[in-house]
Copies of this chain bind each other. A is one copy, B any other.
Amino acid sequence: MPRYKAVIAYDGTNYVGFQRQDNGLSVQEAIETTLKKITQQEIIIYGSGRTDSGVHAMGQVIHFDFPYEKDEEKLRFALDTQTPNDIAVRSLEKVSADFHARYQAHEKTYHYRLNIGRPRNPFKRFYAAYYPYELDVERMQQAANYLLGTHDFTGCCASGSSVEDKVRTIYEASVKKVSDDELLFVFRGNGFLYKMIRILVGTLIKIGNGRLPVDQFQKIIETKDRHLAGPTAHPEGLYLMEVNYHCDEETC
């Protein structure tokens, strides 16, 4: 059976998250239901990773095996238009049978949007977290620099994760004021732990408002103590922007 890789975008507001769960509609279920409508067969999709309820994606990557060869643009269009309006299929291509959206992902980029204006912008209520208090952006950037490189991020991981190896490499960690009322955080790395980005943002906010010292990430990395980090920031600010794959032309 031919394998296809697709890049999808979704507004996560009305989903329980990417992955199938008993308590409501997931992005996975919405797409699998559409594939079933198209093929009359049960097809399982695999994502590059989960996103939580309320978390968005501009560039989530999935793969699935399709029962027959189909023109890439026709399949993309069918999936794009037959999935609910809050899911878009941005691109789709045939890949080799050993391509895996999760295991071969070697770099992910996340954005986190923080609405800092007053009053809260009603158009951003599902698309940015809200924090209308004084933040020292330069201090936050200094703190974020401690994240760069390869570290054990156990202290920045929510409990409930089954991953054993908590060493990750972060290539980029930046905080910028991108408009009058918005801060944009960018994180790029070889992988991120469960709720890690939201814990990084929650900690950066506490550094930005002066309640934690600028070198707090150094302490969290050294001690692996989750209690030294800030709270988990809200999901609505988080976007999975891009997933990159290392692979030779034959596999993808």
Q: How many copies does the complex hold?
A: 2
Do the beta carbons of A87 and B9 come within 8 Å of each other? no
Do the beta carbons of B120 and A85 come within 8 Å of each other? yes
The stretch of A122-130, A134-142, A203-211, A227-235 in contact with B is: A122-130
Do the beta carbons of B56 and A123 come within 8 Å of each other? yes
Q: Contacting A123 at CB < 8 Å: which of B11, B89, B122?
A: B11
User: Considering the chains assembled together, what is the distance between the CA atoms of A90 and B9 in angstroms?
Assistant: 32
Do the beta carbons of B125 and A85 come within 8 Å of each other? yes
Interface residues of A in 88-141 (CB under 8 A from B): 88-90, 119-123, 125, 127
Contacts of A88 in B (CB 8 A): 119-122
A32 adjacent to chain B (CB < 8 Å): no
A38 to B: closest C-beta gap in Å = 16
A101 to B: closest C-beta gap in Å = 19
* Most chain B beta-carbon neighbours within 10 Å: one of A11, A80, A119: A119
Q: Contacting A9 at CB < 8 Å: which of B11, B122, B127?
A: B122
Contacts of A123 in B (CB 8 A): 9, 11, 56, 127
Interface range for A: 10 to 19
A73 to B: closest C-beta gap in Å = 11
User: Considering the chains assembled together, what is the distance between the CA atoms of A120 and B11 in angstroms?
Assistant: 12
Do the beta carbons of B119 and A86 come within 8 Å of each other? no
Contacts of A85 in B (CB 8 A): 120, 122, 125
Do the beta carbons of B86 and A125 come within 8 Å of each other? yes
User: Considering the chains assembled together, what is the distance between the CA atoms of A123 and B127 in angstroms?
Assistant: 8
A217 adjacent to chain B (CB < 8 Å): no
User: Considering the chains assembled together, what is the distance between the CA atoms of A19 and B234 in angstroms?
Assistant: 34
A10 adjacent to chain B (CB < 8 Å): yes
Residues of A near any B CB (own CB < 8 A) = 9-11, 56, 80, 85-90, 119-123, 125, 127
A9-B123, A85-B125, A87-B122 given. 11 additional CB < 8 A pairs? A9-B121, A9-B122, A10-B122, A11-B122, A11-B123, A56-B123, A80-B120, A85-B120, A86-B122, A90-B119, A123-B127
23 contacts between A and B (CB under 8 A): A9-B121, A9-B122, A9-B123, A10-B122, A11-B122, A11-B123, A11-B125, A56-B123, A80-B119, A80-B120, A85-B120, A85-B122, A85-B125, A86-B122, A86-B125, A87-B122, A88-B119, A88-B120, A88-B121, A88-B122, A89-B119, A90-B119, A123-B127
